[in-house]
Structure 1
Amino acid sequence: MGEHVLVTGASGRNGAAACARLVALGLPVRAACRHPERVPVSEVEHTRLDWDDPETHEPALRGVDRLYLIVHERLRNGPEIARAFVERALRNGVRRFVVLSALGVETAVGTPLHGVEQAVRELVPDAAFLRPNWFMDNFTGGRYHRTITEEGVIRVPAGDAEVSFVAVDDIAACAAALLAADTELPGGHLVTGPGALGFADVAAEISAASGRPVRYQPLDLDDPDLMAELGVPGADPRMARTLFSRVLSGGEAVVTDTVRALTNRPATSFPTFARQHAAAWS
């Protein structure tokens, strides 16, 4: 294994976690993103990769035989980016492709991630697609974290529905396992936590771990002020309504054993995650 594993989006939480997992397996890693100085893993080769600057693509792929492709889910031109980059990767001799996708993307026709999957699959029929559920880590950063620490509340239009939240580190471990495997494991891999729980349960677990009282405030999916209640006033509500409609229908409660199957260890439970990250809410 003299050639590198290339991880795109390496300064993001999924990319950085994957770099750390690959390094732990002893694989040579090239971490690529627009700002490689922001990659929080030192034992990797850092390189600049800007989707809008094709001059950075060839150097990133030179000497690479395995690729973990992370294209941001909201990039409208994500499918075009993926197609062009994978075509170049194939010309450069990349032989293993793992793509970060999302649970339910196969039915989300018209979304950028659906297009990314389709583009890669047409070029690389034996590519592997990681389709994780909601990240547990959403509660340790971003707007959910902000309302937890500032107001002691989690606000979402999810009713009593349950979600099989998964830890980003578990997703990274699955990606590393797929990239390091001796044989291809193509197709979609649904990645979830070991059980499903509601947002009230999440609030209770964060309260227990941090000592900070946190409550769940369910919102009305049809509220005209939904996006303001979610902390993003003025934003288009269609994506949020589509997402939470799936949650309310039970579509995010599915539980799989993918983490154990790929990594030979159980997926992280939310209580364990909350204890490990209690300082984030203090």
Structure 2
Amino acid sequence: MIPFIKEALWNGVKRFVLLGSASIDQDGPIFGKVHQYLKAHAPEWTVLQPSYFMENFTEGPHRETTKHLGKIYSATGDGKIGFVSADDIAAMAFHALTDVVPHNTEHIITGPERLSYGQIADVLSRVLGQSIQHESLSDDELRNSMIRMGMSEEYAAALAGLDVPIREEGREDQTTDTVTKITGNNPISFEKFIQNHMEVGK
């Protein structure tokens, strides 16, 4: 990504918006180096740092295990997360790209509430009218399950590792008013999001 940014800067691009993660700050892996580079070199920049996506439960592995097994698997224990919809993240990106005044900052982006995976399972059970449970795995069990789904060992270890600070440090246990302040609209709640995607249980 950094060579691409260098080329864009050389060609006169001034404004950049990076989609990062609330779990990874500028000193962290993956997005961290890009985050640092933009702050140091881009004339106008924004780093979007959303919490976990609500869409994780309407597509991908969680949807499959919910649909076929009535289970959600994680290693987060009772740790809570400010799940946010991709639509709210997209609205943030639109403003970061088009507002007259550049943001030149990081935005932690969350939904309106902090929920554990157990509470997520309760919402899904109630809205979809079926029994869904959260099963808490060990770190090794979660990593190995991702490898069985076809992920590389390195990527599976990195993803599974994100659950540890959620469980042990409350890393994602937060909500912000960022979406409301920047877009003028309140972020959607998880229950309303699932009501809008009832096909998740079909």
TM over 0.5: yes
What is the CA distance between 1:268 and its match in structure 2? 0.9
What is the CA distance between 1:212 and its match in structure 2? 2.7
How far does the alpha carbon of each residue in 1:140-197 deviate from its partner, in whole angstroms, 9 at most, with x for none? 1111111011101001111111110010110000000111211011111000011101
Give the secondary-structure state (helix, strand or coil) at the position aligned to 1:105: coil
The one-letter code of the counterpart of 2:185 is R
The one-letter code of the counterpart of 1:271 is E
What is the CA distance between 1:108 and its match in structure 2? 5.1
The one-letter code of the counterpart of 2:177 is D
Alignment partners' CA distance in 2, 1:104 and 1:115: 14
Return the match for 1:246 from 150, 165, 168.
165
Task: Give the TM-score taking structure 1 as reference length.
Answer: 0.65
In structure 2, the residue matched to 1:94 is 13
Q: 1:86·1:123 contact (CA, 8 Å) conserved in 2?
A: no
Q: Name the % identity.
A: 29
Listed as ranges, the matches of 1:21-32 within 5 Å are none
Alignment partners' CA distance in 1, 2:2 and 2:72: 38
Check if 1:182 corresponds to 2:100.
yes
Give the secondary-structure state (helix, strand or coil) at the position aligned to 1:169: helix
Q: 2:26·2:33 contact (CA, 8 Å) conserved in 1?
A: no
In structure 2, the residue matched to 1:211 is 129
The one-letter code of the counterpart of 2:176 is T
How far does the alpha carbon of each residue in 1:226-263 deviate from its partner, in whole angstroms, 9 at most, with x for none? 323x4433734532443011111111011111100110
Q: Which runs of at least 4 in structure 1 moved beyond 6 Å after TM superposition?
A: none
Alignment partners' CA distance in 1, 2:78 and 2:53: 18
The one-letter code of the counterpart of 1:92 is N
How far does the alpha carbon of each residue in 1:55-98 deviate from its partner, in whole angstroms, 9 at most, with x for none? xxxxxxxxxxxxxxxxxxxxxxxxxxx22222222233222211
Q: Which has the higher contact order (CA 8 A, sep 6+)?
A: 2
May I ask how many residue pairs the two structures share in their alignment?
Answer: 197
Alignment partners' CA distance in 2, 1:254 and 1:149: 29
Alignment partners' CA distance in 2, 1:99 and 1:154: 30
Larger Cα-atom Rg:
1
Q: Which runs of 5+ in 1 are unaligned?
A: 1-81
Listed as ranges, the matches of 1:1-282 within 5 Å are 82-106=1-25, 109=28, 111-124=29-42, 126-221=44-139, 224-228=140-144, 230-233=145-148, 235-236=153-154, 238-248=157-167, 249-282=169-202
